[in-house]
Copies of this chain bind each other. A is one copy, B any other.
Amino acid sequence: MRAGLSIGRAAREAGVGVETIRFYERQSLVQQPPKPDGAGVRRYPAIAVERIRFVREAQELGFSLREIKELLALRADPAADCAEVREQATAKLDEVHRKISRLQEIGTALERLIATCPGRGGLQACSIMDALTLRSGGHSEASKTPAHLDSKPAKG
């Protein structure tokens, strides 16, 4: 066995599918290793597997592939400063906090709906359907031509 792993082996080591590695290569997230010395198939060095793991770990932390590419570029830059990475991580943390808040709002709204829903009988009594249909009120009023929106469509 020559140095390095087959793509299938590398995939198993990194915990991804073969097609995923190829996809990452197409996206320039990981480098495609050469076929050593006239061989027909490529050999993946340990560092390639490491890199794929880096991508996965970063994904676990909520980074998109685009962001991961930036992190990798940073990592390859000898002049890169830790502050830049920290900034990225902090921005991502903010994003995570925002998402949590939004989901908590959604959860609260759903809870309220579920609590008032009778849970049986026709939909005419279903508070959930009501809420979806009637919220942010004024749909029938709105159809009564609010006048300030009527005369001219303003912007194209």
Residues of A within 8 A of B (CB): 5, 8-9, 12-13, 46, 49-50, 53-54, 57-58, 60-62, 71, 74-75, 78, 80-83, 85-86, 89-90, 92-93, 96-97, 99-100, 103-104, 106-107, 109-111, 113-114, 117-123, 125-126, 128-129, 131-133, 135-136, 139-140, 142-143, 149, 153
Contacts and interface: CB of A to CB of B under 8 A. Distances in A.
Contacts of A74: 123
A89 B110 contact: yes
B143 A57 contact: no
Contacts of A135: 53, 57
Contact of A82 (B57, B109, B122): B122
Nearest to A10: B143
A87 to B, nearest CB: 9
A118 to B, nearest CB: 6
Interface of chain A: mostly helix, strand, loop or mixed = helix
Contacts of A60: 106, 109
Contacts of A140: 46
Contact of A111 (B93, B129, B142): B93
A54 to B, nearest CB: 5
Nearest to A53: B139
Contact of A132 (B71, B80, B93, B114): B71
- Residue among A57, A74, A85, A153 having the largest count of chain B Cβ atoms under 10 Å: A85
